[in-house]
Structure 1
Amino acid sequence: MSVPLVDIRSVSHRFGQLAVLKNVSLQIEPGSYTILLGPSGSGKTTLLSILGGFVTPSEGKVFIRGEDCTAMPPAKRPTTTVFQDYALFPHMSVGGNVGFGLRMQGVDGATRAARAREALALVGLASAFDKKPHQLSGGQRQRVALARALVIEPAVLLLDEPLGALDLKLRRQMQDELKAIQKRVGTAFIHVTHDQEEAMALADHCVVMNDGRIEDEGPPERVYHRPATRFSATFMGESTILAGTVAETTNGIATVATSIGLVLLPGAVQPGANVALAIRPEHLVLGTNEGAVGLGTAEVSDVVFQGSFKRVLATSTIDAALQFIAKAPASATVQTGDTVMVSCKADDMILLANER
C-alpha cells in the first residue's frame, strides 16, 4: 500500500480555550487537487496553516512524504503557500519576486532568472519579467504569486482563498487556469475556500469542514449527489430538507413519516431512527411526474431568473415551515403566488441517518 503524500493524524488545535480543530485526520494523495471547504470558523484556514508550518497543532501529527513535519518550520518543509493578498514585494520586479525563494536557497542569479522565466511562461506571463507588480492587474498578480510558489518545486502547494479578491468573471477564468496549471505540473494543490461552486469546479478531492471537524470528504460528484451529513447536503449546494422518522424498513425500502405524510424510498435504516431527506433543486419537479413521490402542493414565494434556469422558492401548503427550492426550466411560466404540485423521484431523495 502506497504512503499518502500528506498524512494528518488526529490533529486538534486550541487558541486559548477555543477549540478550532477537533481530532482531524486526513490523507492527501500525490497529484491531487484538494479543496478544504467550509464556513468561517470551520477550521479550514487553521488546518492549512498547520500544513504550512505557521501553526503547531496542540495535539496530533502531520507527515509529508512520510516524514514527521509537525514541528518543522515553514522554510524547511516541502510546501509553499499562496496567500489571498499575493504578498508580492512592490520594489522588486516580477522576475525578482518569482526568483526570491530560489535566492533564499542560494541559487545563482543566472539559474534564478532562467527558472523564473520558465515559471512565468507556465502561468502565461512570460512578457512580465521586468515589470513591477503595480503594473499588473489583480489576476496577473495572482499568477505571479503562483509562479513564485511553483518555481521552488514544492511537494504540496497550499492556497489560502487565492481567488477571493477577484471579481466573478476573473475568478472563473482563474479557476480554469489553476486547474490547467495543476494538471501540467502534477503538484498536489490544497486550496481553502468557502465557495461551493469554486470547490466543484476545481477539486478532485473535496473536504467539507464544520465546527473544527471533517463532515464529509470524497470526489465532489459523490459529496454533492450523496452527501454524508445534513450539513454537507446544505453547504455543498442547496437542498430542500425534510425531517422525519423511520416507521419501518421492509426489503430495503424505508417508510419515513414526515410532516407532509409517509414517504417510501430505498434505504436500510433502523425503525425509529430520526432522519433527514435531502432533495437537490434540480431533482424537484413542479407538477406531477410519473413514478415520482408526491410531496403535496406549495405556494410559490419567489422566482429568480438565472439564465439557464429559474430558481423557485415555494412554501408547502401542508407544513408552513417547509420551503422547497427548485430549478425550473428557463422557459417555465411559473410566477409568484402560483400554487403548484411538487414531486421527486425516490432514487433522487438522499436519506441522511442521524439528523444533525
Structure 2
Amino acid sequence: MSAPLVDIRNVSHRFGQLAVLKDVSLAIEPGSYTILLGPSGSGKTTLLSILGGFITPSEGKVFIRGEDCTAVPPAKRPTTTVFQDYALFPHMSVGSNVGFGLRMQGVDGATRAARAREALALVGLGSAFDKKPHQLSGGQRQRVALARALVVEPAVLLLDEPLGALDLKLRRQMQDELKAIQKRVGTAFIHVTHDQEEAMALADHCVVMNDGRIEDEGAPERVYARPATRFSATFMGESTLVSGTVAAANNGTVTVATSEGPVLLPGTSQTGTRVALAIRPEHLVLGNAAGTIALGLARVSDVVFQGSFKRVLAVSSKDPALHFIAKVPAAASVQPGDTIAVSCDAADIILLAS
C-alpha cells in the first residue's frame, strides 16, 4: 500500500492551558477531497492551520509527500490556502493576483501571465484577466482565489470555509464547481466547513471532529448511513435518538429495552450496556407499515414544508423527552396536533454506544 500524501501523526495543540487538538492522527490520500467537519471549537480550523504551516503543533508531526513539514513555514511547504475572505489585493488586476505566488517564486513575467491565464480559464474566468477584484461578484472572487492557489501547483490545497460568505444559491453552485475543478486538476483538497450538507456534496473523505478529536471518518455515505458515534449521528445529518439498555444479546441480535418497548435488532453488545438507537428522518415511518418495528405513538408538534418533502416533528406519548424527526412526502396529510403511530425498518436503525 502506497504512503499517504498527508500523514498527521498524534498531533495535539494548546493555546495556553486550552487544549484545542487532542492526539489527532489522520491520513490523506492523493487526489482525494477531504472535508473537516465540525462545530465551532471542534479544532478543525486549527488543524488546517497546522497543515498550512501557520501554527506549529504543541506535539506530534505532519508529513507531506513523506517529508517532515511540522516546522516548515507556509511559503516553503507544498500547500496553498484559500481563506474565507479570499485576501485578494484590491490594487492589482485579477491576472496579477493569480500570478502573485509565481512572482514570489521568481517566475518571469511572460510565464506568469501565461500560467495565470490558464488557471483563470480552469475556473471559468478566462476573460477577467485585466479586471480588478471589485469588478467581480463574490462567486467570481472566490474563483480568482482558487486560481491563485492552484497556479503554483501545490500538492495539497487547503480551503478554510471558502463558501461561507456566499448566499445559499451561489454556495450550491460553487460546490458543484469546486468538485468539478478538483476532479480536473487531481490535487488533494482539504476543506473546512461546519455545513454537513456541504460536506456530503463535496467530500469523498469526511472527517467529523468534536472537542479536538476525530469522532468519525470515511466515505460520506458510510458516515451518514452508519455513524460511528452518537455525536456523528447528530452532526452529520439529523437523527431521532431513542435511549435504551441491552436486555438480551444472542446470535448476532440484541434486544434493547426502551421507553417505547423492546426493540430487536441485528448487532452485538453486552447485556446491560446503555445504548442509543439512531434513526434518520427518511427512515422513520408514520404509521405501522408491514414488516416494520413499532416505536409507539407520538403527537405531532410541528410540520415544516421544505419543497420536495415535509419535515415532521413529533413528541412520544410515553416519553416527553423523546422527539421524533421524520421526512414525509410533500403531499402527506399530517398536521400539528395529530396523534400518529411511528415505526421503522429494523435494518435502518443504527445501534450506538450511549
TM class by smaller structure = over 0.9
Any unmatched runs of 5+ in structure 1? Answer: none
Aligned twin of 1:337 = 337
**Following the alignment from structure 2 to structure 1, what is the Cα–Cα distance between the partners of residues 269 and 114?**
62
How far 1:40 sits from its partner (Å)?
0.1
Task: Encode CA deviations 1:83-106: one digit per residue, 9 max, x unaligned.
Answer: 000000000000000000000000
The one-letter amino acid of 1:103's match is: R
Residue 51 of structure 1 corresponds to which residue in structure 2? 51
Cα distance in 1 between the residues matched to 2:63 and 2:207? 18
CA offset at residue 153 of structure 1? Answer: 0.1
Q: TM-score, normalised by structure 2?
A: 1.00
Report the Cα distance in structure 1 between the residues aligned to 2:285 and 2:129, rounded to whole angstroms: 54
Q: CA deviation at 1:260?
A: 1.2
Match of 1:122 in 2: 122
Higher deviation after alignment, 148-157 or 269-278: 269-278
Gaps in structure 2 of 5+ consecutive residues: none
Q: Superposition pairs for residues 148-187 of structure 1, below 5 Å?
A: 148-187=148-187
Matched residue type, 1:269: S
Match of 1:18 in 2: 18
Supply the distance in 1 between the matched residues of 2:333 and 2:243 (Cα, whole angstroms).
Answer: 30
1:256 counterpart residue number: 256
Report deviation, 1:113.
0.1
Question: Aligned partner of 2:94: which letter?
Answer: V
How much does 1:128 deviate? 0.2
The CA deviation string for residues 240-259 of structure 1, in whole angstroms up to 9 with x for no partner, is 00111101111111000111
The residue aligned with 1:279 is 279
Secondary structure class of the residue paired with 2:162: coil
> How far did 1:288 drift?
1.2
SS in 2 for 1:147: helix
Helix, strand or coil for the counterpart of 1:310? strand
Aligned counterpart, 2:315: 315
In structure 1, give the amino acid aligned to 2:271.
Answer: P
Residue matched to 2:136: 136
| 1:180 CA displacement | 0.1
Match for 1:164: what amino acid? G
SS at match of 1:208: strand
Distance 2:92 2:212 in 1: 39
* Partners of 1:259 and 1:9 in 2: CA distance: 43
| In the alignment, structure 1 residue 237 sits paired with structure 2 residue 237 | yes
AA matched with 1:305: F
What letter matches 1:298 in structure 2? Answer: A
Could you give the per-residue CA deviations for residues 136-160 of structure 1, whole angstroms, max 9, x where no partner exists?
A: 0000000000000000000000000
Specify the alignment match of 1:98 in structure 2: 98
CA distance in 1 between counterparts of 2:285 and 2:51 reads 44
- Name the structure 2 match of 1:295: 295
Q: Cα deviation per residue 1:219-239 (whole Å; 9 max; x = unaligned)? A: 000000000000000000000
Root-mean-square deviation (CA, aligned residues, Å) is: 0.4
Instruction: State which drifts further: 264-273 or 186-195.
Output: 264-273
How many residue pairs are counted as aligned between the two chains?
354
- How far the C-alpha of 1:261 sits from its partner, in A, is 1.2
1:151, 1:131 → 2: CA distance? 18
- Once the two structures are superposed, residues 190-223 of structure 1 have per-residue CA deviations (whole angstroms, 9 ceiling, x without a partner) of 0000000000000000000000000000000000
Task: Give the AA of the match of 1:173.
Answer: Q
Residue equivalent to 1:147:
147
**Within 1, Cα distance between the matches of 2:169 and 2:280?**
26
Percent sequence identity over aligned pairs = 86
Q: What residue identity is the alignment partner of 1:96?
A: S
SS in structure 2 at match of 1:55:
coil
State how far apart, in whole Å, the 1-side matches of 2:60 and 2:175 are.
33
1:145 counterpart letter in structure 2: A
Q: Which residue type is aligned with residue 69 of structure 1?
A: C
